[in-house]
Structure 1
């Protein structure tokens, strides 16, 4: 009898433990779902004006246009660098990348012989990255597409906070599989699933990245996830699907190819958004779409109008980008936010909505955007913003912008009155020029020396591009 009673007590205890475990699991699951998913979509080298929601009548971007109607559109969104790699380093760290020696030069590249080279070039390992912050809040993290933060294994995405990686380590590659007819000589251009598992997709790459993203979302829909969909579209090489090219019979040359590549980018974004809707998780998902720098008009025929300048310089066309943020029932739809923001702001904003306290993050330059876009804080998120590449640099203070050059006097513009930067006001405002120079220098003396630098001959080419595209001829 005692034996039977003992067994009954054990069974009762086991049932209590099991029920408690199930209840705990349910509570964790319920709480986890209150944390919003985060989908961050980054285009590559797109022109400021090359989207329907940015005013283009030539290009077709129906899915992104619809997203814009459901979003806050930021009219003065800036990147922290005018080229791909450093811009992405700023996004991932939430701080000016020059502070840890990652100046406006991509890795690897045609560098000075005296600089750090090869596999030593990459986002420094002592920097804590965005996915690492989100993993601490219980998020599943994934990167699909372009990495460009160092080719060596030690810099690999899966060693920097990403649970899942499908993409390539370098900065640009063909949109089609490598084979005998499409050869590749760079290891970093190979598609990789996870760590060291190289493969080739038969899909057009923009479509393949969207497919991998939707697969991840479906598999991880029961828990909070962070997706960094890092397209290489519309970066060169200029390669589009034949059926997309047919959609633009009135365009020619690179402009036609770019339009087709942008259509492919839009379709891929649409597929990801449709998956969120299909699974019923869209309302609990924050979506951000932006671009890594201005369009390089000379290489891919992109348009940055009405901005002057292009990728790789500090005129507005190099650093101001399209930017959308959507979060159903949390943020106002179809509205415009006009104060300047920075992609540095993404890290603290994402961390805050994930359940962290952005005030506990030390030593970053971005700010949590939520109080500003909700109207709780009516001040500017940033009174001052900076850009720098060796001698060249720029500072925006309120609506004034000073640009420093190596081969001519500094230029001063009032962006509230002159978005195209055609009326240089430096000579009529000498005291303001001095003040902005001093503000820039005070920021500059706190930076690390660049870990790698381009040969100076490439700076001459950069100046040529400034002069070619400064008057919005693109």
Structure 2
């Protein structure tokens, strides 16, 4: 009997290729909405109860200097999905960019883009092209439908930035079947169904982007007993919000149990993080300054953990500054996927597995550009009108520089010594200030950031 050698070689190659494909990990991004840096136990909270999140984080690497690439929802998510800084995609805020009263705005802000340009290849599209089954569960916020952006399955995602209600009817969140549960519970039910129904022939990418813990703050009644007599801690005392955090913790536990029961948890690469800082005055991130919508640390620093059994050492903590822009290039490496995209973030996969920091990660700058106004100022922003005025921010090493366009003012902070950004050192360290300002100007040019200079006649 004669064998067709070429056929046998091709057959074996195909089997080996399929085996290699199946060895690739499933990918799970857990993105909590508006969860602040200290809203979890593993980041120090003594008020909120997050045993599942804490246990999960303990199984991998926690980053204490993790950042969202924007201070509020839509731009942060656009950066995550594209791997690009804000000026590249033009999504700077939610809704219009001229928030607040016209008489309070000295400059004409840059018009905001609300829908992600389909010309960008998203993270979901890249993973789908690489053989992953893709699912969005929860909040999308970048278009009316996430499916054209690379998702095979959509569970509740649309342009909605928050539900009309977590209690049924949800008003602006459409889900098939009976809508009788608390919204995040129902979304998790359907997310678990997705996991159970995966065949195992292909790895999956699950982008679990829960609507919680964004407003409206609506208590989970069967969890309220935990907080009725609990003492406040560091400005954290909102009992209804605490039940939402606790319920999200419980739902994540349900998802992890499903992965474990299916025998795939150990081969799942997990990222846990938030899209921006916590919302003042609902929750506080002390000693960080301010909260969501502000480019002080409380608005952009977030909890983050990376977990991958057997690859990332459990119980490790890192003070390396990272950003959610790093997620896309990291996952391309983890998934053995090819990409020609020029990312604005960096691949963290080698560092995660070896804890060896490359010079590039040490020397790079983190950059935020926000040519907008966002109302809701408070005592922590030192601005009674706006949380954000047009400006830009850079962090390099321990130094962070704020540059505001209305008056060309500069604020320099050494985060190692002053995590609360209380002592402006711009006048004391003029050379460092000038160095960082020059880097900002170079990044503005590199990204074609639109200048904000037109005066507002109503001011």
Question: Which runs of 5 or more residues in structure 1 are unaligned?
Answer: 1-8, 194-198, 461-474
Secondary structure of 2:401's counterpart equals strand
Contact 2:87 2:448 in 1 (8 A): yes
Match of 2:397 in 1: 398
Match of 2:342 in 1: 363
Do structure 1's residue 304 and structure 2's residue 285 form an aligned pair?
yes
Question: Which runs of 5 or more residues in structure 2 are unaligned?
Answer: 103-107, 372-389
Shift of 1:421: 1.1
Q: 1:289, 1:365 → 2: CA distance?
A: 20
Secondary structure of 2:273's counterpart equals strand
Secondary structure of 1:246's counterpart equals helix
Change (3 A) 1:449 1:438: closer
Match of 1:467 in 2: none
Q: 2:213, 2:97 → 1: CA distance?
A: 20
What is the total number of aligned residue pairs between the two structures? 418
Change (3 A) 1:219 1:108: farther
Match of 1:176 in 2: 167
Match of 2:213 in 1: 234
Tell me the TM-score normalized by structure 2: 0.84
Q: How does 1:301-340 map to 2 (within 5 A)?
A: 301-340=282-321
Match of 1:414 in 2: 414
Q: 2:451, 2:137 → 1: CA distance?
A: 27
Deviation beyond 6 Å, 4+ runs, structure 1: 19-25, 108-117
Match of 2:94 in 1: 106
Contact 1:191 1:200 in 2 (8 A): no
Q: How does 1:145-224 map to 2 (within 5 A)?
A: 145-151=138-144, 156-169=145-158, 170-173=160-163, 174-178=165-169, 184=171, 189-192=172-175, 201-222=179-200, 223-224=202-203
Shift of 1:47: 2.0
Whichever structure has more helix as a proportion of its residues is 1
Q: 2:398, 2:59 → 1: CA distance?
A: 28
Q: 1:342, 1:115 → 2: CA distance?
A: 24
Q: Which moved more, 1:374-383 or 1:65-74?
A: 374-383
Contact 1:190 1:200 in 2 (8 A): no
Q: Which moved more, 1:326-335 or 1:212-221?
A: 212-221
Aligned match of 2:76 in 71, 87, 111? 87
Change (3 A) 1:451 1:233: farther
Change (3 A) 1:342 1:218: same
Match of 2:134 in 1: 141
Tell me the TM-score normalized by structure 1: 0.81
Q: 1:319, 1:68 → 2: CA distance?
A: 20
Secondary structure of 2:223's counterpart equals helix
Change (3 A) 1:392 1:256: same
